[in-house]
Amino acid sequence: MINKLADSELVLNDDGSVYHLNLLPEDLAEKVILVGDPDRVPKVSKYFDTIDVKKNKREFYTHTGTLRGERITVMSTGIGTENIDIVMNELDALVNIDLKAKEFKTDHKALELFRLGTCGSVNPDIEVNNMLVTENVVGLDGLLHFYQDYQFENEFSKNFLEKFPYANIKPMLYFSDWAKDISDYYADAKYRGNTATFPGFYAPQGRQLRLKALDDQFLETLNDLGVSNFEMETSAIYGLSKLLGHKALTVNCVIANRRRGEFASDHHASEKMMIEWVLERIIK
């Protein structure tokens, strides 16, 4: 492997910070909460005891501080797996690459990444205003096809790949090592499930406004294959964490029940409940 990275490959800003996240290594804690919406960042950091770093560029807003004596970061990723590609590579560069020398460090540092997102359920029995922890994830977005192949095999993935009926979409399947041993943080979560991540909110998730989606039975078909909920980031977070050697766990608040046509009228209250529930568990 080439050890010295060219300026075009590891792009830095004038102050030496990573190009998109606009962060220096000292701006980041080892526990990182990832949220999609930039407005969710202050909703999380308001619970911190101190906030020492506030930086942003584009949709990437970061606050770092302390909670109950432990350092913690919350960062917005914006929407989609293409943003997660940037977030994961630049977070990893902050801890595992010497930015000044542009060389890989010899000691590997593993970050703990907690996604706090929103999602839609495709299992009619999974009710809105509850949290769902992702055990397995199906990536229908395509990002991980550009990296070295990584697939895991278990009963869920074997069954899913065997029966997935859409020939022009190539699923990639991942899991969180943490989720398999979920008792670490989220043992009392109401729902655990298999999440599908999509490269869009409308037809990719089976929504039809003025345009027809691939299949009228899309939600039912994926639910029959064991999928419980839909969102737009977790496949890339779990897949790239696995490849880069970080720990990741997603909790999504269910704000839509797609099979019953329901949307959580007070989704801001559920978001608050999720933030408090997660912060109580990841820092005791």
Using CB under 6 A as the criterion, which residues of the chain lie in contact with ligand URA when the complex forms? 118-120, 201, 205, 230-232, 255-256
Judged by CB, which is closer to ligand URA: 44, or 72?
Answer: 44
112 binds ligand R1P (CB under 6 A): no
8 A C-beta contact, residue 81 and residue 91 = no
| Burial (Cβ within 10 Å: 0-12, 13-18, ≥19) of residue 178 | buried
**Position closest to ligand R1P via CB:** 36
Footprint of ligand R1P on 70-109 (CB under 6 A): 79
- Beta strand spans in the chain (E): 31-35, 50-57, 60-67, 70-76, 97-98, 103-104, 112-121, 131-139, 172-175, 191-197, 229-231, 247-257, 262-263
Cα end-to-end distance, the chain, whole Å:
41
Name the binder of 135 from ligand R1P, ligand URA, none, CB < 5-8 A by kind: none
| Shortest distance in whole angstroms from residue 36 CB to ligand R1P | 2
236 binds ligand R1P (CB under 6 A): no
Tell me the C-alpha distance between 130 and 134, whole Å.
13
Site size toward ligand R1P, by CB under 6 A: 10
232 binds ligand R1P (CB under 6 A): yes
Judged by CB, which is closer to ligand R1P: 25, or 199?
Answer: 199
Name the binder of 139 from ligand URA, ligand R1P, none, CB < 5-8 A by kind: none
Q: How far is CA 127 from CA 10, 122, 226, 259, in A?
A: 44, 10, 16, 10
The torsion angles phi and psi of 179, rounded to 5 degrees, stand at -65, -30
35 binds ligand R1P (CB under 6 A): yes
Judged by CB, which is closer to ligand URA: 118, or 157?
Answer: 118
Judged by CB, which is closer to ligand R1P: 135, or 231?
Answer: 231
Tell me the C-alpha distance between 251 and 178, whole Å.
12
43 binds ligand R1P (CB under 6 A): no
Tell me the C-alpha distance between 280 and 272, whole Å.
12
Judged by CB, which is closer to ligand URA: 82, or 103?
Answer: 82
What is the separation of C-alpha 134 from the centre of its chain, rounded to a whole number of angstroms? 10
**Position closest to ligand URA via CB:** 120
33 binds ligand R1P (CB under 6 A): no
Judged by CB, which is closer to ligand R1P: 117, or 239?
Answer: 117
Residue 107's identity, in one-letter code, is D
One of 45, 96, 118, 121 touching ligand R1P (CB under 6 A): 118
Residues of this chain that interact with ligand R1P (CB under 6 A) are: 35-37, 79, 117-118, 201, 231-233
